[in-house]
Amino acid sequence: MIPVRGFAGRCVAVLGLARSGLAAARALSAGGAEVVCWDDGASARAAAEAEGVGLRDLGRPGALDGVAALIVSPGIPHLYPAPHPVVAAALAAGVPLDNDVGLFFSSLGDPQWAAMDSPPRVVAITGSNGKSTTTALVHHILTTAGRPTQMGGNIGRGVLDLDPPGEGAVIVLELSSYQLELARALTPDVAVFTNLSPDHLDRHGGMGGYFAAKRRLFAEGGPDRAVIGVDQPEGRFLAGQLAEAAEDMRVIRVSSGQRLEGAGWSVFARKGFLAEWRKGRQVAACDLRALAGLPGAHNHQNACAAWAVARALGVAPRDIADALAGFAGLAHRGQTIAEKRGVRFVDDSKATNADSAWHALGAFARIRWIAGGRAKAGGIAALAPQFGHVVKAYLIGESADAFAAQLGETPHALCGTMAAAVARAAAEAEPGDVVLLAPAAASFDQYPDFEARGRDFAACVAALAD
């Protein structure tokens, strides 16, 4: 646990008692604060009370009197589409807002770090797609290279639940737009922007607000090194804002698909080969084509970003390449879970929108595609250019009929359930085919979350005869 500083003897309120809220309450208490908490859900309140957390209905008149700050959990809106009533009351009363990420950055430093030869460092990774894989990959590379490291934030442990880092340690954080937009302190040593695609637009008031939330990671404190995906206008804009000149080595540009050979520092992948360039010449390279844990161009971008972070932290190219070869992939994100009779089964349950599914479909040549669930705006119409990779689609969930109408001439079957889809796809697959779960839809019609959907896929595959 990282105790929160600056609130000893003062009352701090915590709104939302899921993982990050409970960790914030514990860390505030450890730092000497008087903590009062609330959650709109009765079960969450009961679980917190069982841990000894003090409860106060923060929606009652006068409940925020004497409160020094309100710590808001990431899922609770504070501006768009409308602020939570407790947040609105805090804003009206002039009570400062923060979240666990802001508390983490304001509390992490230790005076003893000045005496260390290699003080701890923080890597923070954000973006629309690929941030979880990039975070896990950086953590894997550092661990394999023998560097003490912890992973947390939007993946793994809550930021305040991490252990205080020691000499030479690196904390690797995945941070969502929800976590970034409210944090009062953001001071990573290395910050990463993977890419941007439409998501959570109601929460951020549109694409401009969404990008602004991501951009805060680079604007609030100013990282020592910025790793920026430049395959989209927003990334190019951000890199241009951060760099003082074309040769500014504090900005590392990364790409999947285009050569980046300018005067600065870049890492890019083309046709399955990664190249690192500095000052107009290539300094390192790596063959990504055989890496089963990182299939497709989108994962090659993740590999480029992770490579750039590791190089910024002083890891040698050969050590990074060895670590990449041993990366098994992140659960439910393009992870190969089995191969039976020459057919590969890949779980990309995290592909909950068309943009994510686009990358999954582009990673393989002959696909038996399991898709469907609770459709998002536009369905799968935008994926039509990728349908040439699909031998046949097997549709599940409440969007099955709508997706069938959008598939056009692409062969498909209405299967309804995961078990039926897996059984039929496996029965019809030929050696060399990939049975790919990339739903292009939310899971909530049949599952509580995408993880549960992915686990069901894996269980159905395991039940098949070898």
Q: What average pLDDT values come out for the chain (466 residues) when binned by 10 residues?
A: 95 94 94 96 90 91 96 93 96 96 94 90 94 95 97 92 95 96 96 89 89 94 94 95 93 95 93 95 95 88 97 97 92 91 95 90 95 94 96 98 96 98 98 97 95 97 91
342 and 316 in one domain?
no
Q: Is 399 annotated as a binding residue?
A: no
Please tell me the total number of residues recorded for the chain in this structure: 466
Q: What is the pLDDT of residue 450?
A: 95
185 and 146 in one domain?
yes
362 and 250 in one domain?
no
170 and 54 in one domain?
no
275 and 210 in one domain?
yes
Helix and strand totals (H; E) in the chain: 15, 19
Q: Is 131 annotated as a binding residue?
A: yes
In a 13 Å sphere around the CA of 299, the CA atoms on its Cβ side amount to 28
CATH code: domain of residue 164: 3.40.1190.10
How many domains are contained in the chain? 3
Q: Is 129 annotated as a binding residue?
A: yes
141 and 60 in one domain?
no
Q: Is residue 49 part of a domain?
A: yes
Q: Is residue 182 part of a domain?
A: yes
Q: Is 299 annotated as a binding residue?
A: no
Last residue of a domain, one of 265, 292, 325: 325
Last residue of a domain, one of 98, 121, 148: 98
**Cβ atoms within 10 A of the Cβ of 222, count?**
13
119 and 90 in one domain?
no
Partnered with residue 287 across adjacent β-strands are: 273
Say if CB 390 and CB 410 are below 8 A apart: yes
| H/E element, 413 | strand 412-416
Token representation of residue 372: 């469907």
190 and 172 in one domain?
yes
Q: Is 130 annotated as a binding residue?
A: yes
Q: Is residue 167 part of a domain?
A: yes
Say if CB 119 and CB 111 are below 8 A apart: no
Q: Is residue 381 part of a domain?
A: yes
Q: Is residue 237 part of a domain?
A: yes
296 and 249 in one domain?
yes
Give me the domain span that covers residue 446.
Answer: 335-462
Using DSSP's 3-state secondary structure scheme, residue 276 falls into: strand
- DSSP code for 443: S
**Cβ atoms within 10 A of the Cβ of 5, count?**
17
CATH code: domain of residue 357: 3.90.190.20
Q: Is residue 2 part of a domain?
A: no
316 and 247 in one domain?
yes
Q: What is the pLDDT of residue 200?
A: 77
Contacts of 131 (CB under 8 A, 6+ apart): 125, 154, 174, 175, 176, 192, 194
Q: What is the pLDDT of residue 111?
A: 84
Q: What is the pLDDT of residue 297?
A: 87
262 and 179 in one domain?
yes
CATH code: domain of residue 33: 3.40.50.720
Q: What is the pLDDT of residue 32?
A: 96
Q: Is 356 annotated as a binding residue?
A: no
Give the closest residue to 116 by CA, choosing from 164, 73, 178, 75.
Answer: 164
Q: Is residue 89 part of a domain?
A: yes
Distance CA 239, CA 186 (A): 18
C-alpha torsion angle, residues 191, 196, 200, 206 (rounded to 10): 110
Q: Is residue 128 part of a domain?
A: yes
452 and 368 in one domain?
yes
Last residue of a domain, one of 70, 98, 126: 98
Burial class of residue 311 in the structure, from the number of CB atoms within 10 Å of its CB (0-12 exposed, 13-18 middle, 19+ buried):
buried
